[in-house]
A and B are shown apart, each in its own frame.
Chain A
Amino acid sequence: MYLLTGIYLTLIFISMYFLFLFSLLFFRNRKEMFNDKKSTDFFPRISIVMPAYNEGKNIGRTLRKIRELEYPKDKLEVIVVDDGSTDRTSEIVKKFKEVRIIRHEKNSGYAAIPINTGIDAAKNEIVAIMNADSYPEKEALLYMVPYFKDKKTGAVTGAYLAKDPKTFLQKLQNFEYRIIAWNRKLLHFLNAVYVTPGPLSLYRKSVLLEVGKFDEKNLTEDIEIAWRILKYNYSVKMCLSAITYVETPDTLRKWWKQRTRWNIGGMQTLGKYKRFMFSRKYDMFGVFVIPLFLSFMIISVFGFSVISYIFTSKGLFLESTIIKHIATSSKIFPGELNILLPEMFVFFGLLMLIIGIALFYIAIKDFNKYSKYTKIASISGAAYNLVYHILFPLVFLHSIIRLVKKDRRW
């Protein structure tokens, strides 16, 4: 029992530290969170690279969205890399005369390969990598480019929201993506943005070439490239005003598949860079980003395991007691149903829950105040915390099993 208490208290301490860290960052930088400046006089040339594999359903809509972008058209080039599609992807793209298409005859199986093809073909210094099912807001590029005035900026990423969330799962993801964007903005203030997601991220081409472009074998090439950029001492910026809408999985099965891929890719990346952990030579990357990533994984697995063990064992005990009371024709006293005496586990758990919910509530209020974001109910936070969060450790455990079995099918 002392071992369990020790593990629990260690997890609580680590979780509490990160909770206070993010809280301090937030309250210090609250005014800056949505304070991105739209570019009025700085319009670097941008090459938009779009890898595509059987995206016939979405790519037309995405290319039309690119046409609507409020950015000087003579400063944009669009390159679609068709990675061996067997549907009408190429046919649809050819209808857009301003788009250059490069075709791979055979599907490479990895997202990074067509991206690297596009980078090589790009003529401009700023390269925007965009998914074929992304729908950026018109002003997205205008908000992102000012960050490149800083020569140390290697990449800029934006906020991704769910496009037309219909199912309960999609609505939970819509909430989740806001929290992710919020977290990422806080990390921006520490130069610790550790991912440049595929829907829309901008890179300095010279930096991409210097760091060696995208890792062609990594399942989450967007995490891995961000880590590499940080390792080379460039910064990755986060722009909450640059919004891109993305298609989200509408069924649990699709969601599970997506998250398994994200987890496996994350663990691959961690494995690749673990030797730089705590290395001060790499500044925030070594000292903070890698330990943060690892801590989240450990807390996810161990925290879930400990809490599951406690509630499952107490729950099973209670269930068995009730059944036996019925079998022996004896009364159940209310005191027997009280499985939560005021003890340390409960005190710390409640404290973390209250602080976490308060922080979520304030963050959502801020999002709702900012006109670019459609309002969502704070009550979503309850469903998110109580229902959605439970899934994360489960999919993570599944990902570990697949990684151990070397099953990296995507």
Chain B
Amino acid sequence: MVKSQKDVFWKAAILTIAVFSLGMFIGYSFERGRVFEIEEDYNIMKLRQIDANLQTLYYNNMVIQDSKFCEVAIDENIKFADELYEEGVKIERYLNANKITKDLLINQKEYILFKTQFWLNAISLKKKCYADYVNVVYFYKQKSEDFDVNTDQNVMSGMLFEIKQGYGPEIMLIPLAVDLNISTIDIVVNQYNITEYPALLINEETVMQGLHNKNEIIEEIDKFL
């Protein structure tokens, strides 16, 4: 009786290996799928970014006669800012979910560089076109081990999204991770003496460090509108 039943051991092993491998494959496929999705978005964003750079070069080197140019340029930049922001949120969520592949980290760095460049574009465009939107730069730590910092940042992300929904095109929201070894951001952080996270830089003038009440943030933004 016993001898005839011992085959269940290797049959169970084969079944386990098959199902486990299938599960790993499905999990890996999910993760790769996310990476491909982000890479595809990235290619589109890259072209948009080149376009935005060309625009900046254009209005830096040309005398702008037609005010319509500014309207179009500002509109395009606001749309681009919103897309960059949503893409950043997507990457963060996927990074937290992916357990095998961490390829998204590279994409994330590239997006941060995009956003930094975009921010500088936004400053130039403001000056050239006398635009009245407010730049809100949100500094956060991508790899913090601190529970309070992580929950504060989680809340701040949601809060800024809510504020952005309220203000629409009147604010440009630019989230920048400060711990990905991007030297430009290190320079900005040092210049504004930012030591606590999350932090906001409003219109390149006002710094708010740590988690603040939504109404306090709105108050500071309103000073520039």
Interface set of A (CB-CB < 8 Å, partner B): 1, 5, 9, 12-13, 16-18, 20-21, 24-25, 28-29, 189-191, 235, 284, 288, 316-317, 320-321, 324-325, 327-333, 336, 341-345, 347-348, 351
Contact = CB atoms under 8 A, between A and B. Distances in A.
Interface of A is mostly: helix
B97 interface: yes
A329 B158 CA distance: 11
B5 A328 contact: no
Contacts, number: 108
B96 interface: yes
A344 B2 contact: no
Given A325-B158, A345-B99, 12 more contacts: A5-B100, A190-B2, A191-B2, A284-B2, A288-B9, A317-B154, A328-B214, A329-B215, A332-B158, A341-B97, A343-B27, A344-B23
B15 A24 contact: yes
A299 to B, nearest CB: 14
A347 B23 contact: yes
Contacts of A343: 27, 30-31, 97-99
A324 B151 contact: yes
Contacts of B20: 12-13, 16
Contact of A344 (B1, B12, B24, B162): B24
Interface of B is mostly: helix
Contacts of B162: 330-331, 333
- 9 A-B pairs with least C-beta separation: A344-B27, A21-B12, A341-B97, A330-B159, A320-B151, A324-B155, A20-B12, A17-B16, A191-B2
Contacts of B68: none
A342 B33 CA distance: 12
User: Which of A13, A333, A343 is packed against the most chain B CB atoms within 10 Å?
Assistant: A343
A341 B96 contact: yes
B2 A328 contact: no
User: Which of A9, A190, A320, A344 is packed against the most chain B CB atoms within 10 Å?
Assistant: A344
Given A333-B161, A344-B27, A16 B16 contact: yes
A330 B16 contact: no
Contacts of A342: 30, 97
B25 to A, nearest CB: 10
Contact of A324 (B9, B16, B211): B211
B30 A190 contact: no
B215 to A, nearest CB: 6
